[in-house]
């Protein structure tokens, strides 16, 4: 197939290094189907005889996804196995501290939430093998578990490799201010396959829905505009926020690349619910609504 303009918007995939047993024995929440598989597995634990392995869930990776999964897991396990069962939830992070990409600002609150939820934290440690009934860590520790959830980051879709030019460590294609691939004519990149500057302060896009929504609007607009000879719209997203769900403890909402906490506990939890159920969803099937939200100047972050 030939094209006049091409937009690569194929997203990302879970990073799965060559850890023995990872593909065969671990679960993840990368896709809806994999999240459903994890949910079915957790529910099936009630049919197994009680054991340390049955009652233990190990979450590998303490980034945003890992932290959210860890704080949610104890109450979910108790709902399945019974409120009196001694469940154990552990999160293992290779970096020397949890939330290595989240910065030091929100870390004390995240640690407080994990402790309140009864989650054990192991840092500075990697998982070296995964089996059906246990894992082994880089320190030689063997932990009995039937449930390992892998949340150790994502990489750009492999199709990005086929676009010539510079790529970052996640496999994303370096893009110009209009989201054109730097070295290939008539190709635009967006979402998790695009490495683009968000501002003039040296910050770049992260692989998250917050940036992907705006990236998609701009790349789509510019591909069409260039095709018909209209001015292009530069991508810019100087405001950066995070909202981290922390299970029964609540949530955290931060603003700025230094992640200053603006809301926490119940107030942040309500905002997180709005983000998950309203903000990131497409508009109603209405022409005017669709065009309004696809405008490259559309802003959804308060």
The set of catalytic residues is 68
Distance in angstroms (rounded) separating the CA atoms of residues 54 and 80? 11
DSSP string, 145-185: -SEEEE---EEE-GGGGGS-S-B-TTSPEEB-TT-BBTTST
C-alpha–C-alpha distance, residues 148 and 58, integer Å: 5
Question: Which residues have C-beta within 8 Å of that of residue 273, sequence separation ≥ 6?
Answer: none
How far is it, in rounded angstroms, from Cα 39 to Cα 23? 17
Kindly report the backbone phi and psi dihedral angles of residue 168, in degrees, each rounded to the nearest multiple of 5, phi listed first: -90, -175
Handedness of CA 71, 30, 297, 175 (dihedral sign): positive
**β-pair type (56-60, 88-93):** parallel
Please report which residue ranges of 58-181 form alpha helices under DSSP H: 64-81, 107-116
Q: 38 and 162 in contact (C-beta within 8 Å)? A: no
- Measured CA to CA, the distance from residue 64 to residue 60 in angstroms comes to 12
């Amino acid at each position: 197939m030939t094209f006049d303009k091409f937009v690569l918007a194929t997203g990302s995939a879970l990073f799965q290094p060559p850890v023995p047993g990872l593909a065969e024995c671990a679960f993840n929440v990368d896709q809806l189907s994999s999240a459903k598989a994890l949910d079915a597995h957790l529910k099936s634990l009630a049919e197994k005889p009680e054991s340390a392995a049955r009652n233990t869930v190990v979450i590998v990776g303490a980034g945003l996804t890992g932290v959210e999964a860890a704080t949610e897991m104890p109450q979910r396990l108790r709902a399945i196995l019974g409120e009196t069962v001694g469940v154990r939830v552990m999160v293992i992070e290779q970096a020397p501290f949890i939330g290595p990409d989240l910065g030091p600002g929100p870390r004390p609150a995240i640690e407080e939430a994990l402790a309140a939820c009864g989650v054990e934290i192991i840092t500075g440690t990697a998982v070296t093998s995964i089996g059906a009934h246990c894992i082994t860590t880089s320190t030689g520790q063997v932990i009995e578990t039937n449930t390992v959830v892998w949340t150790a980051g994502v990489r750009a879709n492999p199709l990005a490799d086929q676009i010539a030019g510079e790529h970052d460590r996640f496999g994303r294609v370096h893009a110009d201010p209009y989201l054109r691939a730097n070295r290939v004519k008539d190709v635009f990149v967006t979402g998790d396959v695009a490495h683009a500057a968000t501002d003039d302060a040296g910050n770049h896009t992260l692989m998250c829905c917050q940036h992907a929504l705006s990236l998609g609007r701009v790349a789509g607009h510019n591909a069409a505009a260039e095709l018909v000879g209209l001015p292009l719209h530069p991508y810019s997203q100087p405001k950066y926020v995070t909202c981290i769900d922390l299970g029964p403890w609540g949530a955290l909402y931060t603003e700025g690349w230094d992640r200053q906490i603006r809301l926490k506990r119940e107030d942040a939890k309500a905002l997180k619910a709005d983000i998950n159920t309203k903000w990131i969803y497409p508009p109603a099937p209405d022409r005017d609504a669709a065009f309004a939200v696809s405008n490259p100047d559309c802003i959804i972050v308060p």
